[in-house]
Structure 1
Amino acid sequence: MLRFLSILVAGVLAFPVLADDESASLRMGDDTFIGGRSVVHSANDTDDLFMAGETVSGSADITGSAHLAGRAVSYDGAVGGDVYAAGEEIEITGDVSGDVTVIGRALTVGSVGGDLRIAGSELHLTGDVGGYAMIAGEDVRIDGRIAGDLRLAADDVDWGSAATIGGRLILYEEDPGELEVPGDLVPSDRIERLEIEEWEGPQPPSLRRAVASFVLGVIVVAGLAALIAALVPDRLADMRRLILDRPFHTLWLGFLTQSAVIGAGVVFALTIVGLLFTPAMLLLAVVGGFCGYVVAAYAFGVGLLTAFGKPEPEVIGDRALAAGVGALSAGIIGLVPFFGWLFVLALVLAGIGAITLRVIRPVFFADMAE
């Protein structure tokens, strides 16, 4: 898991570079990571491939898996592992030995050696599928053989002349029986029609909202961190150094500060007359926690970049890059069950601690000069 997270974090190093024309790339062993506005992969000696940008394309064969994200994604090279892709327009026309999981609007997929999971609006399967297929869309065209079962939820289906199904055909319809099935496609005794409410496959609306919410959260955090870095670079640099140089100290102080703010709200409530101040204290705790997360995410991004040999950020472009790396990598780690929550909580408290040290400068157990 840690290796996967480190690879994924490295693969998205160029998230803020999407605003530039140039792309950024990184090699770790046999794996390749590319990001930017318009990115192209052409190296033939790649195992796992990670690409993100506005337009993403590639034609070289890879031996591992491909992870692709962008507005327009196209890949016509052979993939030895699995393919995971998300975007608006996606074309995976090269042969894929493993599974394919794709979500977007207009999607085209070629030959798949394993299983196919695809959800979108306009879907086109041009090749054969070696395993099962789960397809959810509005307009679907199938021009290949599916060796296993096909679970299909669609408004309109166009069956090509080469389309056949080796397993069962399970149709999910608003009105069972409305979709026509050619007689030579699959025997009638292997056709099952169910209500659309029983669909258990990929559901584009909910998944789209989940992805959109995650991306929006990353953009907000990265944008705020970059804005702070532009407005008060020295103060943010001081807080970043405090977190990286004294992580446990800032974590402890953040815990103490947040406890004091929340505790103050409780004490105000106990006095009855100060009950009106309780919501304000709770709001302060929430706002402080969010600000702490933004600062700590930026520091985390700087720490990751320096760990990969990058110098400390001195210009706004490097600071924006660090903000994007920190926000995205922290968000991804936060998805890990249980441990991800603890990691995010630690970031929040460390950030609050750094803000407290920079703004209030508390001193504990110091000798008082007489």
Structure 2
Amino acid sequence: MENDNLEPEFQEEQVLHEHFSFTADPGQEPLRVDKYLMNRVENATRNKIQNAAKEGSIFVNDVVVRSSYKVKGGDTVRVLFGHPPYENLLVAEDLPLDVVYEDDSLIIVNKAAGMVVHPGHGNYSGTLINALMFHFDNLPQNDQQRPGLVHRIDKDTSGLLVVAKTETALTHLSKQFFDKTSERKYFALVWGDVKEDTGTIEGHIGRHPRNRLQMTVFEEGDAGKHAVTHYKVLERLGYVTFLECQLETGRTHQIRAHMKHIGHTLFNDERYGGDSILKGTSFTKYKQFVDNCFKLIPRQALHAKTLGFEHPVTGEWMQFDSEIPQDMQLALEKWRQYAVHKNL
């Protein structure tokens, strides 16, 4: 996970803050700094930004400003948000976990959509890490103070994660993910009719220069990090397509950004515009149908279905598969019925 705009800092009082810094694009139209930050800081409410302004914690070009300040092109905007000390975030919580497999070295968890993987800005409790700490003792620490965590998936993505129980397992598994020798397959429902039965999307992924909550694809230059996604069509359902996506690399929002890049945004992916009707008609009945589908799966339609890797101790290849969650199954079935009815 990239954190190029987040720098936790300890001040003299030993109060942990999250520090976000942005440089406005040269063509930035004058915009209130509170609205500017709302567009760029994930999970930051207007109230929280207003409080930061009252505390003198919003700076433009190193000068404290009020929330009404108008950001202009070239301005450097910084904001500090205070939150509990990090050690207070790592609290064990008795939360349900779907453990698919466990041995002395590792755990395989099928994460539900809506659960954040690790504590961070705006999500200080109720995370997968909080649950793991309750159910399992002495998980190894990685460099980012995320016990046992080898990789992560987004809050509203469901599916399989591997968690290390020992230092040896953490090192070995992390290296496999870094070396791209692990296997990760996702199921995705995307907008539009994907013409090719199979394909590969390749392009550097980095934070969007204007919307820092999104990742985007940079086809040329040094921006972003190399990313490769392979896909295969499983079903064509007229205005949407059901895909299997295999990750060759593991960048933040990789499938979400790559699919938007080729014109097939994930169904109901609010952050990337998939919560609007991107394909199909504007007739009222169709709009009602799509809205009903959105209600069935109120998140991006993405599920981490398959996970494979070499066991860190035995060397045995291990592969795990998970069922498509009910919300995605219901949305798929509704689109299947629609496609048959409309002879799509």
TM-score by length of 1: 0.24
Greater RCO, CA 8 A, separation 6+: 2
TM-score by length of 2: 0.26
Flag the structure with larger Rg: 1
Identify, as 1 or 2, the structure richer in helix: 1
